[in-house]
Structure 1
Amino acid sequence: MSRKPLPPPDPARRMRGFEAASGFLRDPIRHASESRGFAVARLLTHWPEVVGEDLARMTRPVKIGYGREGLGATLTLLVASAHAPMVQMQLPRIVEKVNAVYGYAAISRIALTQTAATGFAEGQATFAYEQSSAQNTARPVAPEIAGKARDTAAPITDPDLRAALEALAQNILTRRRN
């Protein structure tokens, strides 16, 4: 089998050298975002800038739906269920910020879709949580228990696994016996 040779270059086409990758991706990204109702892809790509870092850690825009109710669309946000009440209180602020991106009152309502931290629909959406200070503080452990836990995990060569097993051993050894 022989391959067909490439056709000669079209002389009418202007050779521009290398083009920016964003030029090749602009149309597919616009088509994908428009199929989800996002006329302005900036809402998806710059979500933390639109609503702020604190709300962006708790929410992800999922889709924009245009209903029969009249003017204004419904923005659906993916929210971890633990943060839903806090986000619910800030809905008027989110509407203002999103409409500022569009330049007119494009969004009139926001619907919240609650999920677990592992997410579901949006490719396992990840949320950046800040651990509370109660989780960051470690309880003091007796030196003999810490030494016994260290000796138990000593044969493990991987440092991360050894630290995790050492912490597990400390938890087991400090657990109250009934």
Structure 2
Amino acid sequence: MERRWTNQEIAQIFENIADMLEIQGEIPYKVMAYRRAAENIAALGRDIYDLWQEGALRTIPGVGEAIEEKIDALLRTGHLELYERLKSEIPQSLLEMRQIPEMGPKRIKAVWEKLGITTVEELEEAARAGKLRSLPGFGPKLESKILAGIEGVKRRKIAGRVPLGVAWPLAQEILKAL
């Protein structure tokens, strides 16, 4: 049986593509195109699979020819060449750093390229040791904010909160079953 991708899964792939492209220093409009497509796919009121079968992917705001081709490839084959290539070039653990409020793609790129940091744990160790302040644009204040952000992420994981975009479709399925 073929895999049926959810809107959230496809949106997450495009969000990850945007993050990885930004970490690589890709031009901003390309990054924003993937982000916009991800946001609109996540917010769709319909199953993207149905739109795909109807040939109506371009009715999704932010989905032009290039992104339509990528969604088509993903739904048809289960693979997306660009995504696979980016995953082979960029450590996936870097994407976890995006959860830390002070860590955007540019800062993630800086700690990865200049200090070889690839995990949140390594980032925390470096911040506690004062190593981040050696990077341009980083200082003691930012190190403190990063440490506080890491603690916040840990607390949220312990609390077990589920994002609305994940909870809502599950709630709808439960309602249908009832």
Bigger fraction of residues in strand? 1
Q: TM-score range by the shorter chain?
A: under 0.3
The alignment's TM-score, normalised by the length of structure 2, stands at 0.27
The alignment's TM-score, normalised by the length of structure 1, stands at 0.27
Bigger fraction of residues in helix? 2
